[in-house]
Amino acid sequence: MRYEPYAEEYAAVPDMTDGQLLDYFLYRLFETEELWGIREGPQWFTREIDGHITQPIWPYKRYAEEATVDAWDYLMPIACSLEFFLYQMLEKLIAEDVMLEIMPRHKAVGCLISPHRLCAILEGMMESGEYTLEG
């Protein structure tokens, strides 16, 4: 199992649309069975975007590390397993009404998705054994 993006996909990420970012994130999340965020002290980092509290997440450590520059240089990458994310974190994020921000890039907002919708997509993928946004 690899834990780094291929050079071609890494080069393509800055120009991806929200839908492409979500697709890419989901495929790689299931490949590695882990996801990455950034933490502020012991807590996962959140920020406000358009009146919504969001939590940025990525499929690889490299992207999380690269996010910890400039205004976020005091933050540290943090990982969790897909299982922990699905059965622990998403429930908490749903209860706290925190949106997920899939793969924000250098000064660009990531794909915003509700934790409820992401949970449905992930559960659908696990049940069917394949990826679909119909979740």
CATH code for the domain in which residue 34 is found: 3.40.1350
pTM reported for the whole predicted model: 0.90
In a domain, 5, yes or no: no
In the chain, the number of structural domains is 1
3 state DSSP class of 40: strand
List the domain range (segments joined by +) for residue 97: 14-128
pLDDT digits (tens, 9 = 90+) for 4-42: 899 999 999 999 999 999 999 999 998 899 999 999 999
Distance CA 98, CA 47 (A): 10
Distance CA 131, CA 44 (A): 27
Q: Would you say residue 44 lies in a domain?
A: yes
The verdict on residue 116 lying in a domain is yes
Q: Considering the domain boundaries, does residue 2 fall inside one?
A: no
